[in-house]
Structure 1
Amino acid sequence: MDLLECNQYLRSMELKRKDIESFDKYPYCLYAIKNLYSLKFHPKITYIVGENGSGKSTILESIAVAYGFNPEGGTINFNFSSMDTHSELHNYIKLIKGVRKPKDGFFLRAESFYNLATNVDELDRDIPGLVNYYGGKSLHKQSHGESFFSLFMNRFSGNGLYILDEPEAALSPSRQMSMLARIHELVNKKSQFIIVTHSPIIMAYPDAVIYEIKDTINEVKYEYTENYQIMKSFINNKDKMIRILMN
């Protein structure tokens, strides 16, 4: 084990396959999980990409919950719950950690962001000034994109483990580029990211590993991801693609 791997917060995960009674039930029946044995995390950024329903967010959620994060998002100290919909996959994975512990951490998921914003407002009433860590303004009093971006720019402080599920969901392309720049700043502050995304912009960080889910999970280069290939093909052949799609 080299020094860099030893110092990262999360080194890898393993699926405890022998403890799973059946791979015919959800979520174990998903190709991504049925064929999952282990994943090695990059010391800076690990991307998990794939089509809708492939299981990437389910895997990401299991990593976050196994680490101690609230299933609906937030820090390890968040314990709100609006609806118990997370899977039990976290009970069947083993996380291999490095020797360092993060000083900060956050699990950001697009689908439950509204609930997280509500919880921040509620906590601010009990702990006045808490909202300052999120930009000084209620996340509910901003547009969806502004609140997403405000949280990312203000709450993430560095020396942290950040697990992000589709962070591009509310962001324009220009804001996605700003987010990528901010990710680089945080990496330089000894942070580690694990990100599920559909965005070719967000996944463009050069010093990273990308796992793509199809029938199995494979490490791929950025230019060979399906997301990049489809976006490139559409932009370079817009008129032709439109004719095909609208035929």
Structure 2
Amino acid sequence: MASLAPHLNKLERCYSFLKQITRNLTDTEAHEVLASNISRDLRCHDDICLGLMVAILLEPELAEKHYRNLTFISRDGMQCVVNGLTQITAENFPKLSEAALNQLLWFTKELIKNVVLGVENLCWNILRCIPGGDISQRNLQVAEFMLDVFNQYRNWLDSNSFMIATVVYTYLRLIDDHGGIHIQTLNHLRQKEEGTLYAYYNMLLEFLSLKVCGKTCLINQEHSAQPSQAFNSCCK
């Protein structure tokens, strides 16, 4: 079993507790035990949810089952899980094993697919962990995976102006690394980046121009007896 960062004692304790209460149980029995324990108090709820979170990161072959259990028993919209993943990403991303990294990315995709509140903070932390100038396989994997997720779930991304700006900034920062002498091997990734940047860069410029227009309109309204004319003039 892959090892998570060893100093994360709380998460290790939560994972051990989860394994202890579900050991040698069938899936149905385990679900009943989890549902029973989750109702005891808030701390027990968070411990079990975090235990399932760690299980998803460490047990790829059982990840889908653990995720189903998590969606069934969570009483806070998986907020403690999102916060836990965000903290792991912010503090321990470079230390994650390849298996744990793959599971973190898969987990993030599932959270986006299910439109879990606050997942944009997790995405922001993942994107900021992609260093410029690094064309290692690990770095390219993260950059391409996240780009594919954003393109797959465009409706989610389109509804979040903060993430649009973050995605545009991140891939404008990275795209030069995927050209030049590396253009042949990384051409597919660069083409994806160019397509995404073209779509969202124009959208971002339009948003910013409307924002400036709105501010100008408000200023003009303060000094104009005919607000409608002021709006028309600033939007021409």
* TM-score, with structure 2 as normaliser: 0.28
Between Structure 1 and Structure 2, which shows a larger proportion of strand residues? 1
Would you tell me which structure has more helix in proportion to its own residues?
A: 2
Q: Is the radius of gyration larger for structure 1 or structure 2?
A: 2
TM-score where L is the length of structure 1: 0.27
The answer to which structure, 1 or 2, has the higher relative contact order (CA under 8 A, 6+ apart) is: 1
